[in-house]
Structure 1
Amino acid sequence: MKRQKTPFEQAPAQKGRHLDRRMFLAGGLILAAAPLAGCQTYPGLPDQAELPDEEFDYAVAYAALPDGDYTWPAINYKSFDRQYLRQVVEYKTRERPGTIIVDPYNNFLYWTLGNKKALRYGIGVGKAGFAWSGDALIRVKREHPIWRPPREMIARKPSLERYWEKGYPAGLKNPLGARAMDLWQGATDTLYRIHGTNQPSSIGKSVSSGCIRMWQQDVIDLFSRVPLRTKVIVLAKDPDAAA
């Protein structure tokens, strides 16, 4: 897969309410090290949550989550295949720790930790999530984002036209959910997003719209770990894989 190395300009994260000091971006450019185990470290923003381990409490992780003016509903995580729950897994890659690797064809997002490990999240992939692959950087991070429907969607559903100018307001019904991370190549917005979803049952599935969906609790967790300018690799379909 061809790597593009165009330099990126920093864009500030959208201002918004924070859950606690873990949400603080610290300028979005710091790659801090936090203890993992013994002398090991893992990348990302300072004061982030501990990584999931054997004693990780999923009931707490996926409980209803107060977030400023909103409370994101609890996830009925026991009804899903355990592979889609937030967890540290074995993962071999030559990419540097702190890179996000999206595998849309297997419904996983990996945040690489080094030492052949990665923090893996289950994802749902919309049609737009299969339309682009390659390398980019997170140039914009948005808390409680607004959503602006694409023109193609408006053509299919003209009632959405009213959201074109100012966008669909933030909140529990917003299609982008609690957080959004926008991927750019140089000065070009790829229109590829990693974002939350108000349809938790779509995780682990291919769906009709959107890019890369995550449970609200998971996208908030990822958002609190990765700084601006984080490298993101979206894998292309393996030509040798079965259709």
Structure 2
Amino acid sequence: MPSRRSFLALTGSAALAACAPRPEDNPDDPVSRYGFTPVEGYEAMDDGGYHLPPVPPQYLEWPNRRQLVFYEGERAAGDIEIDPHAKFLYYILPDGTAWRYPIAVGRAGLALRGRTTIRQKKEWPGWTPTKNMLRTQPEVYGPFARGVPGGIASPLGARALYLYRGGKDSYFRIHGTNDLGSIGNSGSAGCIRLFNHDIIDLAARVSIPTEVYVRTEEDSLRLLGPEMTPRGVELPPRIVSPETIYGATEVAVEDPGV
């Protein structure tokens, strides 16, 4: 049963809603514009000259949204821990909590092990497939061989965090994505992907350098249990049209790896 305080809060919210203009009276109302009520933290936003629409609620069903949680792992404050099995990324805070972000783990991301270090972060980066991507899946990556410029169309999304190992670029990335349905699952492409709203939030918290650790399946099961580990499904390879999905590709860029 709701407490008196929560009941008053609910009735107050109802009163405010009753006084609000109807969607048809307000052209800026998100329900009129997007067809749904945005989830807090995933509303429409403007960033770097680009407009990001809100994330539709069907992609944000629990636990597929950014949450502040108690952290039960072993990493230090300021570190990042990636759980590729439960499909979460943790940014650890000094008070024993962590921001937990849902992620998608691509085929490249599944190969990420041990510890790496974030030594670069970029806003709205461009992307070029690696030679290995072009060799192993030419039907998927061939249309993008000349690169995709930074922006809404880029597979790296709104931000990219660049992981180094031993002082050298590992070509692993933590980055945004427009493929909303991939979050919480494993995919055929990409490294560690977040909703664009989440990678913007994460990148603002991350300093250079930041240590990144990958959780083992054994630790994931120990900490989260079989109801969370493993989580998601493996998505089949997709052949995408650069014109309809990513936009124009005629501008070559210098940043390999995704």
Same fold (TM over 0.5): yes
Residue 120 of structure 2: which of 140, 143, 148 is its match? 140
In the alignment, the residues of structure 2 paired with residue 188 and residue 81 of structure 1 have an alpha-carbon distance, to the nearest angstrom, of 38
Residue equivalent to 2:110: 130
Task: Find the residue that maps to 1:171 and give its secondary structure.
Answer: coil
Q: For residue 152 of structure 1, what is the amino acid of its counterpart?
A: N
Residue equivalent to 1:116: 96
Residue equivalent to 1:6: none
Please tell me the root mean square deviation across aligned C-alpha atoms, in Å.
2.4
Indicate whether 1:83 and 2:70 are aligned.
no
In the alignment, the residues of structure 2 paired with residue 204 and residue 123 of structure 1 have an alpha-carbon distance, to the nearest angstrom, of 6
In the alignment, the residues of structure 2 paired with residue 240 and residue 225 of structure 1 have an alpha-carbon distance, to the nearest angstrom, of 24
Residue equivalent to 1:217: 197
Query: Following TM superposition, by how much is the alpha carbon of 1:72 offset from its aligned partner in structure 2, in angstroms?
Result: 1.7
Which residues in structure 2 correspond to 1:164-203 (within 5 Å)? Answer: 164=145, 167-203=147-183
Contact (CA 8 Å) 1:64, 1:71: kept in 2 or not?
Answer: yes
Which residues in structure 2 correspond to 1:145-160 (within 5 Å)? Answer: 145-155=125-135, 156-157=137-138, 160=141
Q: After superposing the two structures, state which structure 1 stretch, 184-193 or 198-207, moved more.
A: 184-193
Task: Find the residue that maps to 1:238 and give its secondary structure.
Answer: helix
In the alignment, the residues of structure 1 paired with residue 90 and residue 220 of structure 2 have an alpha-carbon distance, to the nearest angstrom, of 22
- Report sequence identity in percent: 39
Aligned length: 186
Residue equivalent to 2:43: 63
Contact (CA 8 Å) 1:88, 1:117: kept in 2 or not?
Answer: yes
The 1:164/1:63 distance shift into structure 2, 3 A limit, reads same
> Which structure would you say has the larger RCO, counting Cα contacts within 8 Å and 6 or more residues apart?
1
Query: Following TM superposition, by how much is the alpha carbon of 1:161 offset from its aligned partner in structure 2, in angstroms?
Result: 5.1
Q: For residue 199 of structure 2, what is the amino acid of its counterpart?
A: V
In the alignment, the residues of structure 2 paired with residue 191 and residue 125 of structure 1 have an alpha-carbon distance, to the nearest angstrom, of 15
In the alignment, the residues of structure 1 paired with residue 79 and residue 140 of structure 2 have an alpha-carbon distance, to the nearest angstrom, of 39
In the alignment, the residues of structure 2 paired with residue 84 and residue 207 of structure 1 have an alpha-carbon distance, to the nearest angstrom, of 16
Q: 5+ unaligned residues in a row in structure 2: which ranges? A: 1-36, 231-258
Query: Following TM superposition, by how much is the alpha carbon of 1:70 offset from its aligned partner in structure 2, in angstroms?
Result: 1.2
Residue equivalent to 1:51: none
The 1:186/1:64 distance shift into structure 2, 3 A limit, reads same
More helix by share: 2
